[in-house]
Amino acid sequence: MKTKVFSLLLICFVCQYLTYGQTEDMVLIEGSRYIPLYGRDSTVVEVNDFKMDKYPVTVEDFELFVKESPKWRKSNAIKLFTDKTYLSNWKNDLESKDSVKSKSPITYVSWFAAKAYCECQNKRLPTVDEWEYVAMADETTKDARIKPTYNEQILSWYEAPRTNENIIGETPKNVWGVYDLHGLVWEWTLDFNSVLITGESRKDVDKDSNLFCGSAAVNATDLMNYAAFMRYAIRGSLKAKYSMKNLGFRCVQDVKTESE
């Protein structure tokens, strides 16, 4: 409890109650149970109600963030939390290069930076289960994974080059009212590497939990969901300090925390 209060205070101090992340740009996601492609423990997972950003965080949003948070500026960022590519398409500490559109999703950010951004707004990164839960919807259905068109559409987006240069809100919004989960950039999740690395070394030896060759198919629930395989693969290849041209993020908020 004590640490919680302390960290809350710390966050308040660092962020100075920034309010630029507008909560009206979030939509309510009603929780439920579903079976993801890969799970940690049991196959069925439960997702509670939460709110999710309609759009990925944009370049513009992030410029505002670093203005207020000097420690996340390119030149100040701690090397433990970022790698050399952090904000590498920015011309200086405060602005992105002129070729970068302000309404494009922010990329070249590490997990630590993304996490800090969300916490500043009293939000957090979504878990893999939450993200996948919202992302399995199409324009009309909450779980569109059985539709062949759903999969094909996503795969063709994944194959299209340079989608990170597009601007937000141009792909069709899904049934929850969320845009761009597919079609723009990959997105950081809170527990992005939990599927592959159990965290316990002995268990890792026993269970072939790698996403390579045959092992990839052993634990999967839906062998036709190639798009999801690709997402789990990209998550598995990441480290928290990595930044990538095609990797951005968006935030979520617990519904309960807000009512408290």
Partner 1 sequence: MQILTKNQIKMKKRNIISCGALLIMILFMSCKDNNQKKEVSTTDMPISREMKAELTSPPNVPRSVGRRKAKKLIVNMEILEEEGELTDGVKYVYWTFGGSVPGSFIRTRVGDEVEFTLSNHPDNKLPHNIDLHAVTGPGGGAESSFVAPGHEKTFSFKTLNPGLYVYHCATAPVGMHIANGMYGLILVEPAGGLPQVDKEYYIMQGDFYTKGKNGERGLQPFDMQKAVDENADYVVFNGSVNALTGDNAITAKVGETVRLFVGNGGPNLVSSFHVIGEIFDKVHVEGGDTVNENVQTTLIPAGGAAIVEFRVDVPGTFILVDHSIFRAFNKGALGMLKVEGEEDKRIYSGEIREGIYLPEGPGIQNMPTTDEVVESEIPAKSFDEQMKFGKQTYMQTCFACHQAEGQGIPNAFPPLANSDYLNADVERAIDVVVNGLSGEITVNGEKYNSVMTKQLLSSEDVANVLTYVYNSWGNSGKVVTKEMVEKVKNK
Residues that bind partner 1 (CB under 8 A): 85, 148, 151-152, 155-156, 158-159, 161-162, 186, 210-213, 216-217, 224, 226, 229-230, 232-234, 236-239, 242-246
Q: How far is the CB of 155 from partner 1 (least distance, A)?
A: 7
Q: How far is the CB of 146 from partner 1 (least distance, A)?
A: 14
- Say whether 224 sits in a helix, a strand or coil: coil
What are the residues whose beta carbons fall under 8 Å from the beta carbon of 10, sequence distance 6 or more? none
- Shorter beta-carbon distance to partner 1: residue 176 or 232: 232
Backbone angles phi, psi at 168, to 5 degrees: -70, 160
- Shorter beta-carbon distance to partner 1: residue 198 or 210: 210
- Shorter beta-carbon distance to partner 1: residue 11 or 158: 158
Q: How far is the CB of 246 from partner 1 (least distance, A)?
A: 5
- Alpha-carbon distance 252 to 146, whole Å? 26
Q: How far is the CB of 244 from partner 1 (least distance, A)?
A: 5
Residue 218 is encoded by which pair of tokens?
Answer: 């052993």
- Shorter beta-carbon distance to partner 1: residue 40 or 239: 239
How far CA 88 is from CA of 93, 196, 220, 244, in Å, comes to 10, 28, 36, 9
Q: What is the DSSP pairing of strand 186-187 with strand 247-248?
A: parallel
Q: How far is the CB of 15 from partner 1 (least distance, A)?
A: 29
Eight-class DSSP state of 56: P
DSSP assignment string, 133-194: HHHT--SS-S--TT-HHHHHHHHHHHHSTTGGGSPTT-SPP-TTS---SSSS-EE--TTTTT
- Shorter beta-carbon distance to partner 1: residue 170 or 258: 170
